[in-house]
């Protein structure tokens, strides 16, 4: 498998990374950036209970491969909107962000992620994280692990605070179906616009849509299959060049893929 991949990308000089965060950079059994707050004692128990009910209701729709796009898109907007309203209702405080990440310890990187980020930083490879999660928690987690470098850009749902209290999010909602390069601000687009080659990394078939249609066929697409069923594996094999199971890691990616072997 890797021999064919390395032939495909053998002429690549420069490239950038477009990656998901939850269960892509983090382990398949890691908590999500939306769920991390529910593991903290800093938030009202009613928030945790209501958040759990929302997850139980909407999650099956999110992973349903048979549902039409418009119906699923509407449901995902509802889910994200309702969760954001909960953060506002229960007056989530900005000061909690650092404490939640530091104290809960429920986010965990896949093996090799820190080394991967160090490698990309040392070789001036931009990493663009496009996440439907909570950007504030992602940013803080990278900082606490020492890899929030100047070549790393996070496009996500950032909670907006007024006087330290949550009032909504900055900009439009980014959910699991609308993650694409249209979400990327012009400041980041200007950095990657002259780089033809892109590596896309995700844990869902819709993650390949992070890259524009005209670049998608030539992109190197790596997928982490966290829920390994025959139907899902078949779908993954249709859209990803490399499919790794839930225990897949970035050490193997750097070891096997030639463009990550910098001299």
Structural domains of the chain, count: 1
> What's the pLDDT tens digit per position in 101-148?
999 999 999 999 999 999 999 999 999 999 999 999 999 999 999 999
Read off the pLDDT band of 222 (50, 70, 90): very high
Which tokens sit at 252?
């193997």
Do the Cβ atoms of 174 and 83 come closer than 8 Å? no
Cα 152 to Cα 16, 127, 197: the distances in Å are: 10, 5, 17
Task: Return the pLDDT at 263.
Answer: 62
Residue numbers of the domain that contains 158: 2-260
- Bridge partners for 189 per DSSP: none
Task: Return the pLDDT at 227.
Answer: 78
Mean pLDDT over the full length of the chain: 93
Residue 228 has pLDDT above 80, yes or no: no
Do the Cβ atoms of 240 and 256 come closer than 8 Å? no
* CA–CA dist 225, 253 (Å, integer): 15
> What's the pLDDT tens digit per position in 32-68?
999 999 999 999 999 999 999 999 999 999 988 889 9
Closest CA to 84 of 140, 22, 34, 154: 34
236: left (phi over 0), alpha (psi -120 to 50) or beta: alpha
Task: Return the pLDDT at 215.
Answer: 81
- Residue 138 sits in a domain whose CATH number is 3.40.50.1000
């Amino acid at each position: 498998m890797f021999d064919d991949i390395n032939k495909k990308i053998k002429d690549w000089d420069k490239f950038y990374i477009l990656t998901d965060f939850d269960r892509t950079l983090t382990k398949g059994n890691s908590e999500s950036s939306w769920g991390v707050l529910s593991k903290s004692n800093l938030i009202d128990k009613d928030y945790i209970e209501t958040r759990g009910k929302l997850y139980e209701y909407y999650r099956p729709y999110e992973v349903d491969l048979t549902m039409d796009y418009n119906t699923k898109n509407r449901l995902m907007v509802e889910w994200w909107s309702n969760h954001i309203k909960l953060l506002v209702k229960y007056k989530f405080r900005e000061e909690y962000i650092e404490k939640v990440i530091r104290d809960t310890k429920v986010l965990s990187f896949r093996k090799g992620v820190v080394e991967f980020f160090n490698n990309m930083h040392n070789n001036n490879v931009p990493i663009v994280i496009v996440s439907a999660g909570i950007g504030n928690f992602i940013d803080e987690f990278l900082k606490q692990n020492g890899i929030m470098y100047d070549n790393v850009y996070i496009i996500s749902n950032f909670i907006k605070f007024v006087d330290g209290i949550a009032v909504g999010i900055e900009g439009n909602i980014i959910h699991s179906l609308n993650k694409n390069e249209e979400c990327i601000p012009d400041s980041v687009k200007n950095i990657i616009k002259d780089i033809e080659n892109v590596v896309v990394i995700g844990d869902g078939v819709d993650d390949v849509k992070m890259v524009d249609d005209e670049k998608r066929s030539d992109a190197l697409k790596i997928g982490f299959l966290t829920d390994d069923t025959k139907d899902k594996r078949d779908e993954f094999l249709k859209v990803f060049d490399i499919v790794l199971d839930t225990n897949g890691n970035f050490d193997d990616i750097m070891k096997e893929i030639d463009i990550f072997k910098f001299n």
